[in-house]
Structure 1
Amino acid sequence: MGSRKLIHFSPARTILISMVLIILTGTLLLALPLARTCPIPFIDLFFTATSATCVTGLFTIPLNDFTFFGHCIILALIQIGGIGLITLTVFFISLFVNLGLAVQLMTGQLLDIAQWKNVKKIVLFIILLTVITELVGAFLTFIAIRNDYNLGQGIFLSIFHSISSFCCAGISLFPHGMQNYNHNYLMLITTIGLILIGSLGFLTWKELISYWIARTKKQRHQLSLTTKIILYGSLGITTFSTLLFFVLERNNTLASLGNPILMMLNALFQGLAFRGVGFIVFNVWQVYLVTLFLAMIYAFIGFASGSTGSGIKINTFVVFLATIRTAITGRTSVEIKERTIPLDQVYRAIAIIFLGIGWILLTTFCLLISERYSSFFPLFFEATSAFANLGISTGLTGGLTLLGKFMIIITMIVGRIGSLTLIFALRKQALWKKAEAEFSYPEERVMLG
Structure 2
Amino acid sequence: MKSYFFSPSRMILLSMAFAIIVGTAFLMLPQATYQPIAFIDLLFTSTSCVCVTGLSTIPFESFTPFGHTILLILIQIGGLGLITLTLFLFSLFTNLGLATQVMTGEMFDLESWKGTKQLLIFIIVVTALCELIGTYFIYQTLKIHFDPSNALFYSLFHAVSAFCNAGIYPLDALMNICAHSYSMLIVTSLLTILGGIGFITLKELYRTYIYSSHYERRMTLTLQTRIILSYSFILSLGSAFIFWLLERYHCLISLTTPHQLLTSLFTSITTRSAGFFAIPAICMQQASLFIIMVNSFIGAAPGSTGSGIKITTAALLIATINTAIQGKTAVNIKGRRIMKDQIYKALAVVALGIAWILIVTFFLLITEQGWQFIDILFEATNAFTNLGATLGVTPYLSTLGKFLIMITMFAGRIGSLTLMIALRKREEKNEFLFPEERVMIS
Q: Distance in 1 between matches of 2:329 and 2:423?
A: 23
Partner of 2:101: 104
Partner of 2:221: 223
Partner SS for 2:355? helix
Q: Is 1:63 the equivalent of 2:60?
A: yes
Q: Is 1:48 the equivalent of 2:41?
A: no
Contact 1:270–1:281 (8 Å) recurs in 2:
yes
Q: Distance in 2 between matches of 1:210 and 1:419?
A: 32
Equivalent residue in structure 2 for 1:241, among 239, 242, 262: 239
Structure 1 residues 33 and 111: alpha-carbon distance in aligned structure 2, compared to 1, 3 A threshold: same
Q: Distance in 1 between matches of 2:11 and 2:212?
A: 39
> Superposition pairs for residues 136-285 of structure 1, below 5 Å?
136-213=133-210, 217-219=214-216, 220-258=218-256, 260-285=257-282
Measured against aligned partners, the alpha-carbon deviations of 1:6-41 in whole angstroms (never above 9, x if no partner) come to: 465210000000000000000011001111111111
Q: Distance in 1 between matches of 2:418 and 2:94?
A: 27
Partner of 2:115: 118
Q: Distance in 1 between matches of 2:341 and 2:78?
A: 28
Partner of 1:376: 373
Unmatched 5+ stretches in structure 2: none
Q: Distance in 1 between matches of 2:416 and 2:432?
A: 30
Partner SS for 2:114? helix
Partner of 1:440: 433
**How does the TM-score come out when normalised to structure 2?**
0.96
Partner of 2:404: 407
Equivalent residue in structure 1 for 2:329, among 305, 327, 332: 332
Q: Distance in 2 between matches of 1:96 and 1:150?
A: 40
Partner of 2:390: 393
Q: Which amino acid aligns with 1:250?
A: R
Q: Which amino acid aligns with 1:262?
A: H
> Superposition pairs for residues 339-350 of structure 1, below 5 Å?
339-350=336-347
Number of residue equivalences: 441
Displacement after TM superposition at 1:419 (Å): 6.8
Q: Distance in 2 between matches of 1:423 and 1:27?
A: 25
Measured against aligned partners, the alpha-carbon deviations of 1:247-296 in whole angstroms (never above 9, x if no partner) come to: 111111221112x2111111100111111122111132221111011101
Contact 1:305–1:315 (8 Å) recurs in 2:
yes
Q: Distance in 1 between matches of 2:171 and 2:302?
A: 30
Displacement after TM superposition at 1:215 (Å): 6.7
Runs of 4+ with deviation above 4 angstroms: 422-429
Q: Distance in 1 between matches of 2:364 and 2:430?
A: 44
Contact 2:163–2:305 (8 Å) recurs in 1:
yes
Q: Distance in 1 between matches of 2:416 and 2:68?
A: 26
Q: Distance in 2 between matches of 1:306 and 1:428?
A: 26
Contact 1:107–1:119 (8 Å) recurs in 2:
yes
Q: Which amino acid aligns with 1:382?
A: E
Instruction: Judge which range, 204-213 or 54-63, deviates more.
Output: 204-213
Equivalent residue in structure 2 for 1:307, among 300, 304, 327: 304
Percent identical pairs in the alignment equals 48
Q: Which amino acid aligns with 1:111?
A: F
Partner SS for 2:254? helix
Displacement after TM superposition at 1:201 (Å): 0.3
What is the CA RMSD across the aligned residues, in angstroms?
A: 1.9
Structure 1 residues 152 and 8: alpha-carbon distance in aligned structure 2, compared to 1, 3 A threshold: closer
Q: Is 1:290 the equivalent of 2:287?
A: yes
Q: Distance in 2 between matches of 1:175 and 1:428?
A: 45
Q: Distance in 1 between matches of 2:130 and 2:418?
A: 26
Q: Distance in 1 between matches of 2:429 and 2:148?
A: 62
Partner SS for 2:167? coil
Q: Distance in 2 between matches of 1:57 and 1:103?
A: 32
